[in-house]
Amino acid sequence: MTTESNDTKVTKRRYDRIARVYDFMEGLIERSRYSKWREILWSKVEGSNILEVGVGTGKNFSYYPKNSQITAIDFSDEMLKRAQGKASQQKIKVNLRQMDVQALEFEDNTFDSVVASFVFCSVPNPIRGLTEIERVCKSKGKVVLLEHVLSGNPVLAWLMNLANPLVVRIMGANINRRTVENVIKSGLVVEQITGLATNIFKLIEARKKQLSS
């Protein structure tokens, strides 16, 4: 059994704390930008057995592909409660489970695709989480991530690094993660990176290497 780190406990508490107001906090940007990007994200998914990591309050429910078997996890109990309520209200077929991406409880090579949106800014050990995703994804399976990352502009990157401790304390999310590099370190093969806005928001498409027979 994996021992939960102090950083993970702190991050859980932050998301439990803001769960009630989370949708309200992101309402404007969700309508103006994120909703369009979520549609693109889910259009890249392959196969029928899909894992969503970091389901949160269920913001991706409207974009789930039909005739798919979807398992969705989150490590925040309060976020998951809201997702459960939304799934019931919207009649969404999804297997919701309380789980930490850093210690997934699934067998190796389980899912055709793994999807996450704005998750790896918050995972305390992102490489560990991405390695777990790589493990549970099937051979040649697809991983699709919608993330905000550290800017390539030196001045903006400096400002993001400066502001990061405050943002983490308030929102629980790091704004200076190098997620593309972390995906590569996990063993996944990056196939395509699509810049969505200001060189900070990116759609990352990766694939698990084919297992040798």
Tell me the pLDDT of the chain averaged across its residues: 93
Digit-coded pLDDT (tens) for 100-149:
999 999 999 999 999 999 999 999 999 999 999 999 999 999 999 999 99
pTM of the entire structure? 0.93
Residue 37 CA, chain-centre distance (Å), reads 13
| DSSP structure class, residue 126 | H
Contacts of 46 (CB under 8 A, 6+ apart): 112, 113, 141, 142
Residue 55 has pLDDT above 60, yes or no: yes
Q: Are 101 and 53 in contact (CB under 8 A)?
A: yes
Greatest CA span in the chain, whole angstroms? Answer: 49
The reported pLDDT for the residue numbered 24 is: 86
Digit-coded pLDDT (tens) for 58-94:
999 999 999 999 999 999 999 999 999 999 999 999 9
How far apart CA 112 and CA 213 sit, in angstroms, is: 18
CATH number, domain 6-207, options 3.60.20.10, 3.20.20.60, 3.40.50.150, 2.40.50.140: 3.40.50.150
